Structure 1
Amino acid sequence: MSNKSLKVNIQKKLKEFELDVDFELKNGRLGILGPSGCGKSMTLKSIAGIVDPDKGVVSLNTGKETVYFDSDNKINLKPQKRNVGYLFQNYALFPNMTVEENVACGLSKDDDYGIVSEMIKRFRLDGLEKRYPRQLSGGQQQRVALARILAYSPDVILLDEPFSALDTFLKEQLRLELVNLLRDFDGFSIMVTHDRDEAFQFCDELIILDEGKVIAKGNTHDVFENPIRVQVARLTGCKNISKVEIIDEYHLKSLDWGVTFEVSKEITPNITHMGIRAHDFAPAEKDDVNVICTENARKLEMPFEWEITLANGLWWKYDKPIHEHEFEIPQYLKVDPKNIILLEE
């Protein structure tokens, strides 16, 4: 796997902004996380050959290099020549074809059609072979679409918001199935999502896209733990973000919450904001470090957590068992200095 790579360096002028994406994937699963309309799907379509970038290069190396697109050398392989599997949001099954016909439709006449029954079995579609897409549930449709992709052994699988059309229960179930499937897949996979949980669960590497630009990239855990920029912290789910005034190398004042905090990392002059994740508070004594008074806090019960909003706007999430409905908000909360995220604008 180590000598494999997928290189993407593309630019394309869109209506609202210019898409400018540059990354190299050497193994495993990449996530592209970002808000709606930031250029995520356009990036996937450019890799698949559905859309042409204005300039740039897309190439795959699996021991030998295949150039999908190169604007300088006027190379632009047709989608069917790229050996890329694309899972669309709506699965794009052929409505007039049965399940087995849909699974087989990506194969050439030289392929072994025994793979169709293998895929039917692998994706638990036995008994549904003669049904049409309209006779299937959303989850079954997704499994047919994945079986169709994997039947022709693609080098790259592209997943465009694969769970957006599913209800919550089905989403959880299919997430687990897809995680296991992609772990066993020997090629590259790229998933586009605006759901930070999906990105965290699926992807070894993560790119965060905002208005067509890559604003963060790296190991998924590292990007979540140290987002560096305000917008990256927001997109990875940080609920508490405030402007700050730097007091000294290890202390700053939150201008939005009116609290002074001690931090564990030296504060550099480029720090303009701080973040605290909503699960990172703990009950405290009055004289602990980084203490916040909870007077006039409000609580909202969710099935598996309490959402506590403090009077100054800070938000605390506290896990709870489903059968416990009483909760006394402690008088004071604290946050560990190492859990304070230092952020640049």
Structure 2
Amino acid sequence: MADFVAETITGANSGLSGQPVLDVRGLVVEFERADGTIHAVNGVDFAVCPGEWIGIIGESGSGKSVTLMSLLGLLGDGGRVTRGHAWFEGTDLLQLPNRRLRSVRGNEIGVVFQNLAEGFNPYLPIGVQIAETLVSHRLCTRRTAHRRAIELMRELGIGDAKARFHQYPHELSGGMRQRAMIASAVASEPKVIFADEPTTALDSTVQMQVLALLTDICRKRGTSVVMVTHDLGVAAHTCDRIVVMYAGMVMEEAAIDEFLQHPMHPYTLGLRAASFDPDQPDRPLRPIPGYAPALLEAPHSCPFAPRCHLATARCREHVPALRRIGPAHRVACHHVQGENET
């Protein structure tokens, strides 16, 4: 896995290199519900090198957010990791006791939540909550943390930061709250940031502003980012590498240039056909037929087969392996030839 990632990064961006700072292998996550077990994540592998941006894309319910939250122990009631490893600087996050994991969460790994209501306490001023990230991890004194929080708020384009420091979450616009959440995520200068749909519910202009700020501040610090998004355009403009998920599995992974020029998996092609392309504004959108599976059982075949025009008996009987088809490209499809196949 590490060899593949090193080759991928070289192909995507020559400025990125080195061993993964985060290496997830064979991750399996389940949820117990009254109507049965939901197999939300089914053997996911991916890795992130220092300074790299990875975009995880796919439909709602494909396991993107669950994958990230499981690594931080934030699955909530009924969720559990049943298999896999998540190596973060030599330590398996999935084996850490809760106390040790809390010291990693928000300190060494920052989080920008999808739902702004989950990211802030409505009863505390925004600035106090940003500063608390530094204080709770004993990175500086409270006075220094307050000063640092105001500096970060300014850096992220929050005007009149001293006054905003004392305002409550409901007193800020959605764009300002998202900027404040990014400030909280980067306050401790983490090595990795998980950004879960960081521009949800923002209008397009504010989206681009927030993404530009997040990109700028993380690139300057050499921070790695794993970003969950539905928006192929957002991923194309910000990421070094793309991971495509469907039904809790990785369908395709490629360096961004390879992904844009030579997408291979039928699901990836379907996503692109169903997405607006600003370079072809008159192109009609073609939705993917059918529906995503309910995930009430572990996969025993290609999960995309019921919606795929290329599906054969083999697809309906065997789970495709995620195989390398190039130095910066892997695909899980029985109909795509690998490097060593004829």
Shared fold per TM-score greater than 0.5: yes
2:181 maps to 145
CA contact (8 A) 2:28 2:44 kept: yes
Paired residue type of 1:66: T
Q: 58, 63, 71: which one pairs with 2:86?
A: 58
Q: Where do residues 122-201 of structure 1 align in structure 2 (5 Å cutoff)?
A: 122-125=155-158, 126=161, 127-201=163-237
| Corresponding position: 1:80 with 2:102 | yes
Quick one: structure 1 residues 308 and 67, their matched pair in 2 at CA, closer, same or farther if it must change by over 3 Å?
Answer: closer
Deviation at 1:22, TM superposition (A): 0.8
CA contact (8 A) 2:29 2:82 kept: yes
Deviation at 1:18, TM superposition (A): 4.9
CA contact (8 A) 2:20 2:47 kept: no
Report SS of the residue matched to 1:69: helix
Paired residue type of 1:58: A
CA contact (8 A) 2:57 2:242 kept: yes
Quick one: structure 1 residues 209 and 42, their matched pair in 2 at CA, closer, same or farther if it must change by over 3 Å?
Answer: same
**What is the CA–CA distance in structure 1 between the aligned matches of 2:67 and 2:189, rounded to whole Å?**
22
Q: Where do residues 223-302 of structure 1 align in structure 2 (5 Å cutoff)?
A: 223-235=259-271, 237-238=272-273
CA contact (8 A) 1:49 1:77 kept: no
2:323 maps to none
Deviation at 1:205, TM superposition (A): 1.1
- Quick check: which one's strand share is greater? 1
Q: Which has the higher contact order (CA 8 A, sep 6+)?
A: 2
**What is the CA–CA distance in structure 2 between the aligned matches of 1:178 and 1:195, rounded to whole Å?**
16
Judge which range, 205-214 or 178-187, deviates more: 178-187
**What is the CA–CA distance in structure 1 between the aligned matches of 2:284 and 2:57, rounded to whole Å?**
28
CA contact (8 A) 1:6 1:58 kept: yes
- Give the unaligned 5+ runs of structure 2: 1-16, 32-36, 287-332, 337-342
Q: Where do residues 114-125 of structure 1 align in structure 2 (5 Å cutoff)?
A: 114-125=147-158
Q: Which is higher, the Rg of structure 1 or of structure 2?
A: 1
Q: Report the TM-score when normalising by structure 1.
A: 0.64
1:11 maps to 28
Deviation at 1:119, TM superposition (A): 1.2
**What is the CA–CA distance in structure 2 between the aligned matches of 1:4 and 1:209, rounded to whole Å?**
20
CA contact (8 A) 1:156 1:188 kept: yes
**What is the CA–CA distance in structure 2 between the aligned matches of 1:66 and 1:16, rounded to whole Å?**
28
Report SS of the residue matched to 2:24: strand
Q: 94, 98, 101: which one pairs with 1:69?
A: 94
Deviation at 1:121, TM superposition (A): 2.2
**What is the CA–CA distance in structure 2 between the aligned matches of 1:220 and 1:184, rounded to whole Å?**
20
Q: 22, 34, 43: which one pairs with 2:58?
A: 34
| Corresponding position: 1:99 with 2:99 | no
Deviation at 1:80, TM superposition (A): 1.6
Q: 64, 68, 71: which one pairs with 1:44?
A: 68
- Give the unaligned 5+ runs of structure 1: 241-276, 281-304, 314-342
Judge which range, 201-210 or 75-84, deviates more: 75-84
Aligned length: 246
Judge which range, 220-229 or 103-112, deviates more: 103-112
**What is the CA–CA distance in structure 2 between the aligned matches of 1:6 and 1:194, rounded to whole Å?**
22
Q: Deviations over 1:159-179 (max 9, x none)?
A: 111111212221122222222
CA contact (8 A) 1:98 1:129 kept: yes
**What is the CA–CA distance in structure 1 between the aligned matches of 2:64 and 2:53, rounded to whole Å?**
15
1:268 maps to none
Runs of 4+ that moved beyond 4 A: 74-78, 277-280
CA contact (8 A) 1:67 1:75 kept: no
Q: Deviations over 1:225-274 (max 9, x none)?
A: 21112111122x1359xxxxxxxxxxxxxxxxxxxxxxxxxxxxxxxxxx
